[in-house]
Structures are given as C-alpha cells and as structure tokens.
Amino acid sequence: MRRLAMTPRADWRERCEAVGFTFHSIDGLYWDESVAYEFSLEQIETLEAASEDLHQRYLDCVEWVIRTDHFEPFQLPAGAREEIIRSWNREDPSLYGRFDFAWTGEGQPKMLEYNADTPTGLLEASVVQWQWLNDVNPAADQFNSLHEKLIARWRAIAPDGLLHFTAIEGHEEDTGNALYLLDTAHQAGLPTRYLPLEFIGHHAGRGTFIDQYEQDIRHCFKLYPWEWLLQDSFAEHLERSAIRFLEPAWKLLMSSKAMLPILWKLNPDHPNLLPASYHQDIPGAYVRKPLYSREGENIRIVAGDLRLESDGPHANAPCIYQGYAPLANHEGNYAVLGCWVIDGQAAGLGIREDASAITRDSSRFVPHYFV
C-alpha cells in the first residue's frame, strides 16, 4: 500500500462533471487526483474478505438483538423497535453499505464502523475513480465492481411498481448520490422517479404517503437516516402505511455505534474488530463515539500524546468507547479505507484523506488502483 504523487488531468473538472459529479470541490478541494494509493492484489483480497465476513457478523448481531430484545443500548425513538422488528420479519431487502477501516496494508484491517444506512461517497467510488483509472493508468486494475453489482442487485430486488428516490432538497452531495443510485436502478430496467424529501406528503384518506403528483409511494430509496425519520411527525403513519424503504429499518441497528460493543461481545478477539464498550473501560488508547454521530462529529481520541476532539451537535449524546487503531499516515495525510458491500458482497474501495486523524465531511477523496 503506497501513496504516490500523480499528475492531475488537465480537464479533470469537466471529466468529473460529465458523469454527474458536480460536487467535486466541496470546501475548495474534495476530489484530489494529485495522489493515488497503490495496492497489491493480496491486499485487496484481504479487504474483500474482511468486509464480507463482518457484514455477515453484523447480520448475526441484528438477529441476536431482535431475538433477545436487547434494544436498550440503542436509545431508540418511540416506535423504532416495532418498525425494526416488522422490517426484519418481512425480510425487507437491503441494497448497500460501507465499512470504514484503519489499515496500513500490513496485518489485518481494523473496522472503525459500518455506514449501513445512508453511506455517501458512492458516485466518486464507482464511476468517477473508474473513469480516472481508464484515463490515467488503464493497464492497472481497481477494486471496483460497484456499478455492475448495483444494477444486478436492483434486478434481484425489483419492487412491484414505481421506485421513488429522495434526499434533502438543496444538499448537493446527497442529491448527487441519490440520483446516481436512481440511474443504476433505471439501467436495471426499473421505473423510477426522484422527489425532494420535503415534497413527500401523507394522504389521510388513503392512508398512504404520496409524491408531488399525489401518486402513492410504495417503494422508496431514502438518503435520510432512520433515526431522523422516526422522529419526524409523519413517522406515526408508518405502521398503517404500505410503504417500504431502502435501506430497511433493521439497518438502523447496523448503522448505530451501539452495535459495536455487541459485535465485540459476540466475536471477542476477532482480527478485524476493536474492543468496544458502553463504558470508559477500554484499556489503553481509545476513541469515544456518539451512538448516532455522522461525518466525524463529536469524536474524541485519547491515544498517548494524541488528544483530539471534534465539534458537532452530539456533545451530550450517549456514547460508546472503542479501542484506538491509528490510521495510515503519510506525511501528515491520514487515510480511511471505505469498503463497499452490495448484498453482502465486497464491491469497491473509496479512500478519504485528511490532515487530521478525525475524518470529516470535508476530507478529500483520493483514487486507488492495484497491480
């Protein structure tokens, strides 16, 4: 695993925008092709194996939580437990997720968390860095079968009727990711429609959720976290509505950091896991994480001389404590390896870099290849 200097394409902005990647310069610099990471095939296979194994272990943990009624650590809003159980018992299908790993390329990668409900960074991990590879280093390969696996998954779970896609109005990154997924569903032959989240209504007479054309929404991909959705005013109508969401409600358990201590309890000393607890009893260096923080919000790292804490809205929220695993650090550039999973299969890699050991929404995305 090497970090190499690269020469950016002269027309990289135009090339990115040609595939719908209009948010390439968030906060001045987001997509960064001045560097790239080189892996060996063996290293890629290590990441693939870890991702697929951990996904199955997460599924086992969801089953355990539901079977033992162990919901208390998740601090769920009213009605969430019932919605989760209903979606699990119906076997509502899942589409995708992204594991975040700390790894230098030696030994075993250590899983930091599972972005199992609303992961972003998909468009750039899929078509954007594949385009970069073909333009810059076509003789190399890339851990990237995202596009093909997404289309195949849509065909496998094809819902009966129109599939709606929604994200928060005005959020360019979320909208871009949602529209990319809509495009993959369209390529799979599914009828699709996009609508901003704010346009979703509820028809009291029909007992259904409706779009801007007053058409019933029966199947909906939402780039909107379940823990937010369940606190919205229309959540009270979920049980009586026939609407089905991607991701399903049972994915809320996977996406919560409250699952990390359970995962460790059921899989002690697993080579890809870090010790995790609901109490500050982790020996040695640790990281404190709120149960539902996002984009590196309110993270605290205590590791020897390293003391870091990020801001955010979760300062007083319930937390878990996890053993500290240092990120790969190349001359002050800290890298998180994001491994994508589609229907339980490893499907691709996206790398985020930052000058801080805490990865934020402003952290740079850099491409990769393997030889």
| 3-state secondary structure at position 89 | helix
pLDDT, tens digit, 9 for 90 and up, residues 255-294: 999 999 999 999 999 999 999 999 999 999 999 999 999 9
Task: Report whether pLDDT(27) > 80.
Answer: no
pLDDT band of 167, cuts 50, 70, 90: very high
Radius of gyration of the chain (CA): 20
Query: C-alpha distances in angstroms, 135 versus 129, 139, 327?
Result: 10, 10, 29
Task: Report whether pLDDT(41) > 90.
Answer: yes
Identify the pLDDT of residue 344. 95
Identify the pLDDT of residue 260. 98
What is the enclosing helix (H) or strand (E) of 73? none
Q: What is the mean pLDDT of the chain?
A: 96
Query: C-alpha distances in angstroms, 16 versus 8, 24, 31, 184, 353?
Result: 12, 7, 9, 18, 19
pLDDT, tens digit, 9 for 90 and up, residues 102-114: 999 999 999 999 9
Runs of H (alpha helix) within 69-224: 80-89, 122-123, 129-136, 146-156, 172-187
Task: Report whether pLDDT(362) > 90.
Answer: no
Q: Tell me the residue type at 300.
A: R
| 3-state secondary structure at position 144 | strand
pLDDT band of 233, cuts 50, 70, 90: confident
Identify the pLDDT of residue 325. 98
Task: Report whether pLDDT(368) > 80.
Answer: yes
Q: Distance (Å, rounded) from C-alpha 142 to C-alpha 14? A: 22
CB 56 within 8 A of CB 344: yes
Q: Distance (Å, rounded) from C-alpha 172 to C-alpha 167? A: 9
Identify the pLDDT of residue 61. 98
What is the enclosing helix (H) or strand (E) of 282? none
Identify the pLDDT of residue 78. 83
Share of the chain above pLDDT 70, in %: 100
Candidates 371, 322, 334; CA nearest to 112 is: 322
pLDDT band of 234, cuts 50, 70, 90: confident
